[in-house]
Structure 1
Amino acid sequence: MKKIKKIGGLFLLFVVLCLISIGVIAYLLSPDYEGEKELTNLSEEVEVYYDTYGIPHIYGTNEEDALRAMGYVHAQDRLWQMELLRRIASGGLSEVFGQDLVSTDKFFLALGVNDASEKAVSELNLYDKEIRLAQAYLDGINQFIKEGPTPVEFYLTGIEKRPFELKDVYNTIGYMAFSFAMAHKSDPLLTNIKNTLGADYINDLEEGFGKNTLRIPNYELKSSEVAVTNLTTAVMESLEALAIPLFEGSNGWVLGPEKTKNRKVLFANDPHISFSQPTVWYEAHISTPTYKIYGCYLAGVPFPVLAHNHEMAYGVTMFENDDVDFYFEETNSSDATQYRTEKEWKNFETVSKSITVKDAEDVQFSYRKTNHGPIMNGLIEQITSERPMAMRWVYTENENRIMTALYGMSHAQNMVQFQNALPNIHAPGLNVMYGDAQDNVAWWATAKLYEIPDSVNTKLVFEENAGLPLNRKYLDFTKNPHAINPPWNYVYSANNEPDSMEGKPYPGYYLPENRAKRIVQLLEPKNDWDMASVRDMMNDVTSIVNTEIIDDLARLMEVEQLSRKQIDALDRINVWSGASVLESSETTLYHRWIYYFLKNTFEDELGETRFQQFMETHFLKKQIALMAAKENSIWWDDVLTPDKVETKEQIVQISFLQAYASLSKDFGEDMSKWSWKKVHTLEHGHPIGQIAALRPFFNVGPFAVEGTREVINNMAFSYDSTGFYKVSYGPSTRRVIDFSDIENSYSISPTGQSGNPFSAHYKDQAKMYAKGEFRKMLMNKDEIISTSKSLLILKPVQEAAE
């Protein structure tokens, strides 16, 4: 007995020592939200008030001091995220995670973002205001790296901290630009389908390229008015596994005074980005005598992408324009080192790179380039063809002035100044949403657009010596789609296709009209919008398109072939409102039915691998409603049964029966047990959370959440055979800004402000977000001081006494 007591005592002592150690580590590695610190190069003291949710409110006497403080506080909450994002474009993931990421590093190095960043930095005027401010921000980051505690992820991965430089800012923005591009997923895959199945199969889907869709209307302000296969499957999977944010879609709408209860502009925006921990945006409020902004910042970028102040508000959605093209190149049969141009044979350019790999030798590799861009063969395992395929991307071949754009947007004093900053955005394509205190509402599609002949299909890989000319004819920014103070008194974007300024639609990878139709349906009849009703709208989970799809499918069902319970299930989904709430069994049945409908329609021709790749494209999302409504299609016949020809009616019937059977197997035949909350969950993953033992510490969730694919509260997921849907992306923030009461505007973060797992603000908004709640974005200094939880004072370094 004494021995057992002794062992028990030793075990208890061990547990106590472990808890003490964890407490000490947490204390040492937690961010400092209060006290005093000295920063080099500060000219005056800067006060940083942290509010209830850990958002810094930075007060300085000049902008450079404020940006230097911003860099410091941003780094202490998000240094690991900064480190990860800057490494992607520069091919630095293998150094952290080992050999599994070598192919991803090869791909990004070949894309040329890092080379383009080096070129952009070499051409900067270091005395320009935006560059001096950016450098001040980086100085703040680097002082934290030098003097602050090292984030736990650096210890776990074994990498050393190193200073940040201007090139890192451009690399982070370049990665984000890549994450917008849908051509990598679509063009080679559609070309492969065309080449293996025939043009008829692609032509049958042609409606999805832009016909029969709700387009965003343009409005020109009059002078009298006030101013192969899925190319990146392996790459994307590796980034998703690391919980690295990818831009996917977005909603935004801005209501003019005529549409609001208080007769002032109301602004709403929720960019859709893949969920990660930490979340993509870092909120911060900066106030100096000459510059005031409340913004959402990317890790390592000095100027906000989403922001507002007392005079204006702006945000973004993805334009989804086509700015990537692929070309098959003709190799000289007598000299494999040459390819054909329009005029002559030319030598391939060979580029050599080196990748540092954790616990392994460095990897040396080379790739070839043509006048179109890098040859992707050998870089992407999905490319098995011997025909060289080059990739051309607007982002890497044009002058990069994105820093000028972000600076100009955040420093604009009025709509004219704001608009003047936008032509500096060449890529990625963004819909920029705008509203201000002078009652202006506006939307601009920003990107460097170029002329495309009607005869050119940009959704396919161009054949040898075909496609777009090398010297593109770029359009003037005034030809970009836009609307300024339209007579219908609101602007919106849901990544749906915009109208052309000259009657010719611009090619893109636009999302289906589902969200757009719902937004217009809600906005159009109502003229007394207020903060509460806009917040409710941001959480709307109803799809009018999904109910239309059910109508198209259900009318084809042979009910005499169904059991009583199957008929009851069909009756229930027939009267479904389209709302994807937690208790909805109809939503669960709908998505199982749609999955089998798509599988039975496409998988026999495509095969399992290509079918799954097809399911990941925006193009497929548009096909769901189109195929449900279509009477005739070459895709209906199951090519695996050559002795008979299947019909759409048979596809619909068997798909419903398969969906019913799978749900009965999972939950029993009682449809009331098929609630959406059982199958639709959100977990915010951290790269280190891939390790099972560390998952509870680093990951946040899971939560059962309302919403679904392509509703306003767009809690999206991929279809697969399991029928359980792990949400992959959705609103990365929800912001509502009311110019009738600007200091009582609202926002929410998916998890929390800090990326430091020892911070109290690591996940303190996660449950609120899952329930659709909001919190205030404080801007009134008296209120900030009176409610502040802590004050961090950053002081100039004091000269040592002689």
Structure 2
Amino acid sequence: MKRTLTALALIVAIGAAGAGWYLHGKQPQRDGELALAGLHAPVTVRYDERGVPHLKAQNQDDLYRALGFVHAQDRLFQMELLRRLARGELAQVLGEKLLPTDRLFRTLEIGRHADARAAQLDASSPSVRALQSYLDGINQYQASRPLPVEFDLLGIEPRPFSVADTLSVAGYMAYSFAAALRTEPLMTHIRDQLGADYLKVFDLDWHPEGVLGTPLAAGDWQDLAALAQLSDAALAGSGLPQFEGSNAWAVSGSRTASGKPLLAGDPHIRFSLPAVWYEAHLQAPGYELYGYHHALIPSAMLGHNRDFAWSLTMFQNDDLDLIAERVNPDNPNQVWYQGRWVDLEQRTESIQVKGAEPVQITLRRSPHGPIVNDALGQSSGSTPIAMWWAFLETDNPLLDAFYQLDRADTLDKARAAVEKIEAPGLNVIWANAAGDIGWWAAAKLPLRPAGVNPTFILDGASSEADKLGWQPFSANPQEENPARGYIVSANYQPVPASGIEIPGYYNLPDRGQRLNQRLSDASVKWDVRNSQALQLDTGTGYPRRVLTPILDELRSAAQGEQEQALVQRLAEWNGEHPLDSVTATLFNQLLYQLAHEAMADELGEAFFDSLLQSRSLDIALPRLTADADSPWWQRKDGSGTATRAQIVAEAWRASLSHLREQFGDDSQSWQWGRVHTLTHAHPLGQQPLLGRLLNVGPFAAPGSHEVPDNLSHRIGPAPWQVVYGPSTRRLIDLADASQALGGNPVGQSGVPFDAHYADQAAGHVLGLYRPQHLSEADITSHTQGTLELLPR
């Protein structure tokens, strides 16, 4: 036995040593020298204490080639998975469970569109030259250095990255903004199946003349519900970033302590591992930028230097319409379009599946766009639903836009760059050291026929689905140097000076109103310190709007002194969500139960789940509790009529029962930090063993849904997993941009077991800011390693 145990110990030691040697070989190289073909001169890459590379090159071609190399060193697997998701190629490496996702993205035509656009680009333009150099750096890394451990686990065969891959990833980003596939079927179902009175809580215009000319059948509704669920699952289940919201503001020098503009920004994005942004500080003669880079995109999408800075929020304009086509009863391959029957285009594609035979799919397109219910394969409905999407209908020179924005040091240059962003819709908030601040809502806005409400599925047999052209950029919402001395953007519906209506899926106004209330205080001089407090604010006035109309019903439902005390805490609550709050837990559970008890019976499981995923529910709940006569309070399940008071009482009892069952009878054990947590999930972390190795967390998370510190969870029963939140929190005072603050939700590196894989995670969730080194002295004093890239 002694010899056996010794042998086993030796085997374990050898195995551990082998695993350590293997993993060590996968780690990024941040010291020494490496040769890189195509360089005209050496490039120095200094890594700071967070693993952020500071690149210094003698020309911009070398700079972008080196950026591609070091970006791939930290994030190659993220790049690979993103291009596969966007192009519908995940099943090839992850197996048949990803077939529905691949089928959806093939249906969306993102890869097909990217291939066509790549062939049309001007190879001599500065932005395309930058992209080609960047991609060459990625491909050289992939061809010459150890591949990520995930490639080995999944058996991924490396292939070069292309311009079309970059454009495909841009398409994925645009799609992740779009809410139409999740919202329009739901709103149309409520309108056509329940009726006008049920729409009132959503603050939508009722247009009885807009009901589809050919009513959808039961199978069509099943398809639409399934499509909404597939769309959400494809984004949520990929472990990749999805853009959700954001805060940003710019304060002019008249309102700051330094006398120079201050920029703040925290884009809200679905948490992923690695995180969406890759920080890099780039320097070449005539160019310098500290930027945040998206995988496979060389230009920074957020950035600053000593002269200017900018951030982004989602515009959330509706740039995607669903259109029900009328089928020719004598020819199922024809639909009615502009007064005549026209053929549907058809094509067949093959999806490679790991461990199985390829799957052939047939995809169709009408004159309005791709038929999206083809994503379901064998659908149960008979009505083709087409998708008109601005991303597929515009030139959309995003590469040029961000290349120019990275160099835009004046209002005129920034405005000209922003005008090139056509889809997805973005708000760009910008400031410079010369004293200017500006905001432009960037999107190419379609002209729809008068009276058409694109919140609903449109009738393809009528003219309501037609587009009459595009609004000029000058009609978009925008401001430059407003007299009030600040600009704030927080995803609420903007009011353009042009007076045009801009349909969209906007967030509640509460978050923006809270920020505006504080920024409007003329007695405050803003600096980096008090701006941190504003970004980390965990409060909202939303609970008061929901609760005030039903407090009497809650008091009547509460049994005993302890429950009465809980209702009183709700009545007195200021809406803040710190880690020790019990009231925050009670309110968020009650919010779900109110929605469920009032609305699930009318909608059914699939459409109620769609409602929980949508921003429409946020709008509906305060309006619902304020209207005791809303038809949503009536029972539709055959159990008889009900009143608001009865439903509120049922929601109260269900909330307490759930919290007691999950966390114990003592309400003090219901603290927010116990029930509201953040885990950064690796794409392979769904496997239990790999999850323990690769996932990061859980961390107790303050903040909540639609507060400035928007660490947000899906509305549902406790406990809650934070889904999205600040992808970085940046603060730049342009009096001295070298003192800018920022950070990363997890770490710079996507390489498991690297020192920078998760070194920022615990601090970020609690609001820790990190310095962003810009001055030569700071870079030198914080350099942890220097990599010299030499011409080969």
Give the TM-score normalised by structure 1.
0.94
Q: Equivalent residues in 2 for 1:340-739 (5 A)?
A: 340-380=336-376, 384-466=380-462, 468=464, 470-525=466-521, 526-559=523-556, 562-641=559-638, 643=640, 645-721=641-717, 723-739=718-734
2:758 is matched with which residue?
763
CA deviation vs aligned residue, 1:471-508 (integer Å, no higher than 9, x gap): 43201100000111111111111111000333343100
2:791 is matched with which residue?
796
Q: 1:384 to 1:486 in 2, by over 3 A?
A: farther
CA deviation vs aligned residue, 1:150-194 (integer Å, no higher than 9, x gap): 100000000111111111110111100000000110011211222
> 1:153 and 2:153 equivalent?
no
Q: 1:773 to 1:699 in 2, by over 3 A?
A: same
1:284 is matched with which residue?
280
2:209 is matched with which residue?
none
Mapped contact 2:511–2:706 kept (Cα < 8 A): yes
Q: 1:173 to 1:779 in 2, by over 3 A?
A: same
In 1, the alpha carbon distance for the partners of 2:687 and 2:570 equals 40
Mapped contact 1:120–1:400 kept (Cα < 8 A): no
Question: Unaligned stretches of 5+ in structure 2?
Answer: 207-223
In 1, the alpha carbon distance for the partners of 2:562 and 2:205 equals 40
1:107 is matched with which residue?
104
1:233 is matched with which residue?
229
Q: 1:654 to 1:60 in 2, by over 3 A?
A: same
CA deviation vs aligned residue, 1:253-296 (integer Å, no higher than 9, x gap): 11111221112111111111111100010000001111101111
In 1, the alpha carbon distance for the partners of 2:788 and 2:774 equals 19
* Match of residue 72, structure 1, among 69, 93, 116: 69
Q: 1:157 to 1:300 in 2, by over 3 A?
A: same
Mapped contact 1:205–1:623 kept (Cα < 8 A): yes
> 1:779 and 2:780 equivalent?
no
In 1, the alpha carbon distance for the partners of 2:616 and 2:465 equals 25
Mapped contact 2:558–2:564 kept (Cα < 8 A): no
In 2, the alpha carbon distance for the partners of 1:418 and 1:88 equals 32
Q: 1:476 to 1:383 in 2, by over 3 A?
A: farther
In 1, the alpha carbon distance for the partners of 2:605 and 2:196 equals 21
1:661 partner letter:
S
2:742 is matched with which residue?
747
Q: How far is 1:438 from its partner?
A: 1.1
Q: How far is 1:675 from its partner?
A: 0.5
CA deviation vs aligned residue, 1:86-145 (integer Å, no higher than 9, x gap): 112211111111111112112111211111111111111111111111111111101101
1:516 partner letter:
G
Mapped contact 1:229–1:383 kept (Cα < 8 A): no
In 2, the alpha carbon distance for the partners of 1:263 and 1:630 equals 48
Mapped contact 1:320–1:430 kept (Cα < 8 A): yes
In 1, the alpha carbon distance for the partners of 2:51 and 2:525 equals 34
Mapped contact 1:255–1:491 kept (Cα < 8 A): yes
In 2, the alpha carbon distance for the partners of 1:379 and 1:126 equals 34
2:303 is matched with which residue?
307
Q: 1:168 to 1:548 in 2, by over 3 A?
A: same
Mapped contact 2:555–2:564 kept (Cα < 8 A): no
Question: Unaligned stretches of 5+ in structure 1?
Answer: 211-227, 798-802
Q: 1:307 to 1:649 in 2, by over 3 A?
A: same
Q: 1:710 to 1:591 in 2, by over 3 A?
A: same
> 1:267 and 2:266 equivalent?
no
* Match of residue 171, structure 1, among 168, 183, 199: 168
Q: How far is 1:539 from its partner?
A: 1.0
Mean alpha-carbon deviation: is it higher for 699-708 or for 468-477? 468-477
SS of 2:515's equivalent in the other structure is helix
Mapped contact 1:377–1:384 kept (Cα < 8 A): no
Q: How far is 1:209 from its partner?
A: 7.0
Mean alpha-carbon deviation: is it higher for 319-328 or for 518-527? 518-527
1:388 partner letter:
P
SS of 1:543's equivalent in the other structure is coil
SS of 2:479's equivalent in the other structure is strand
Q: Equivalent residues in 2 for 1:185-224 (5 A)?
A: 185-202=182-199, 204-207=200-203
Q: How far is 1:592 from its partner?
A: 1.1
In 1, the alpha carbon distance for the partners of 2:87 and 2:666 equals 54
1:293 partner letter:
L
Q: 1:72 to 1:165 in 2, by over 3 A?
A: same
In 2, the alpha carbon distance for the partners of 1:478 and 1:238 equals 36
Runs of 4+ in 1 over 4 A off after TM superposition: none
SS of 2:567's equivalent in the other structure is helix
1:160 partner letter:
E
1:105 partner letter:
D
SS of 1:755's equivalent in the other structure is coil
> 1:320 and 2:308 equivalent?
no
In 2, the alpha carbon distance for the partners of 1:552 and 1:310 equals 51
> 1:116 and 2:113 equivalent?
yes
CA deviation vs aligned residue, 1:665-695 (integer Å, no higher than 9, x gap): 3333322221111110100001111111111
Q: How far is 1:640 from its partner?
A: 2.1
Mapped contact 1:208–1:626 kept (Cα < 8 A): no
> 1:131 and 2:123 equivalent?
no
1:94 is matched with which residue?
91
Mapped contact 2:446–2:467 kept (Cα < 8 A): no
SS of 2:547's equivalent in the other structure is helix
CA deviation vs aligned residue, 1:396-421 (integer Å, no higher than 9, x gap): 11113111111111122322111101
Percent identity of equivalent pairs: 36
Q: How far is 1:6 from its partner?
A: 1.8
In 2, the alpha carbon distance for the partners of 1:659 and 1:684 equals 28
Mapped contact 2:226–2:606 kept (Cα < 8 A): no
In 1, the alpha carbon distance for the partners of 2:122 and 2:663 equals 64
1:207 partner letter:
D
1:768 partner letter:
G
In 1, the alpha carbon distance for the partners of 2:251 and 2:743 equals 20
1:564 partner letter:
E
In 2, the alpha carbon distance for the partners of 1:471 and 1:339 equals 18
Give the root-mean-square deviation of aligned CA atoms. Answer: 1.7
Q: How far is 1:630 from its partner?
A: 2.7
Q: 1:467 to 1:714 in 2, by over 3 A?
A: farther
In 1, the alpha carbon distance for the partners of 2:12 and 2:438 equals 60
In 2, the alpha carbon distance for the partners of 1:751 and 1:663 equals 30
In 1, the alpha carbon distance for the partners of 2:232 and 2:203 equals 27
CA deviation vs aligned residue, 1:305-336 (integer Å, no higher than 9, x gap): 11111111111111110000111111111222
Q: 1:554 to 1:35 in 2, by over 3 A?
A: same
2:213 is matched with which residue?
none
Q: How far is 1:518 from its partner?
A: 1.1
Mean alpha-carbon deviation: is it higher for 555-564 or for 537-546? 555-564
SS of 2:71's equivalent in the other structure is helix
Mean alpha-carbon deviation: is it higher for 553-562 or for 66-75? 553-562
2:33 is matched with which residue?
36
